[in-house]
Structure formats: C-alpha cells, structure tokens
Amino acid sequence: MSGDDDLRPAADAALTASRALLGIIARSMLPALEELSLPQFRVLVLLSSAGPQRMGAVAEDLGVTVSTFSRTADRLVLGGWATREGNPDNRREVILALSEKGSRLVTSVTESRRRLIEAVLEGMALAQRDHLVDALRGFTAAAGEPSVAELLILGL
C-alpha cells in the first residue's frame, strides 16, 4: 500500500467530519444571518477577535477597498452593531469597534455553536470522545492555526 492509500481513510473521515462541522456552523449562524449579511457578520467577528480597528485595516483584512467597506461600516453603525470614532492620535483615521449589541450577537453565535457540538458529543461513547479530543488536538497542531483572512471567509 502506498502512503497515499494509507492516508485515504483518515482523509475521507476528515472530509465527512468537516461537512458535519460546516452544518453546525451554518445552523449556529442562522439567527445572525436573519439580521445581517455574511460580510457584515464577518466584520463583527473580526472586531470581536482583534478589538477596535482602523477602517483601512478592516477593509484590508477583508480584501476590499476602504470606499467599498465604508458602506458596510455605515450599515453596522446604523444598526447599532458597531461604533465609529475618530482616532485621537490621528484625526485622519477612523476607528471601528464592536458595540455591546454586536458583541452579544457574536457571543450568541459562538455559544449556539458550542451547544450544537456538545449535543453531537453527547451521542458518542466516552472513549470515543476521549480519542476525539486527542485526534483533534493532533490534527489542529499539524494543520496550524488558520489566518484571520481564512477564517473570515465563513464568518468564523
């Protein structure tokens, strides 16, 4: 058996598990996507993880121009999801921050995702869960931490 053949069962299992996790992610985001678009939610996730950011930095992280991003920021501020203030250190810069309302939404989605994952784990035997923890830690270590840009594609 070649090395590729040895890896195939594990790769197939990982592909199947990734589809299951994507389903959980989608279900956890449904309430948020009733209020915001996916790109808008991506901004909230970025602000939640990185803290207040210059508008230009957020646009760059999202791979869009500042003028394009400005419309998204306007909608987020108007909806109360984010706040926008001038940078006291540089008057030409505008800082976008997550509002309390935006923070609650990101937390709600994260907690919903955790509950959905826990519900799946409850259906597994304890020994399977223990093996899963070790396997996922090993997989994560081998894969490395994804970049912010990669995670933002799906609003993670």
Q: Residue for token digits 């597994």?
A: 124
Task: Provide the residue range defining the domain that includes 68.
Answer: 3-152
**R_g (Cα) of the chain, nearest Å:** 19
What sign does the dihedral 36-39-40-44 (CA atoms) show?
positive
Q: Is the pLDDT of residue 15 over 90?
A: yes
**In this predicted structure, what is the pLDDT of residue 92?**
79
* Sheet containing 90-98, strands listed edge to edge, beginning at the edge strand earlier in sequence: 53-54, 90-98, 82-87
Q: Is the pLDDT of residue 149 over 70?
A: no
**In this predicted structure, what is the pLDDT of residue 1?**
46
> What pLDDT, in 10s, does the model give residues 117-137?
999 999 999 999 999 999 999
Q: Is the pLDDT of residue 143 over 90?
A: no
**Which CATH number is 45's domain given?**
1.10.10.10
Mean pLDDT of 97-116: 97
Q: Is the pLDDT of residue 7 over 50?
A: yes
> What pLDDT, in 10s, does the model give residues 61-94?
888 899 999 999 999 999 999 999 887 777 778 8
Q: Look up residue 79 and give its amino acid.
A: G
**In this predicted structure, what is the pLDDT of residue 154?**
62
Number of domains in the chain: 1
Mean pLDDT of 145-156: 66
- Report d(CA 135, CA 131) in Å as an integer: 6
* Percent of the chain residues topping a pLDDT of 70: 91
Q: Look up residue 103 and give its amino acid.
A: S
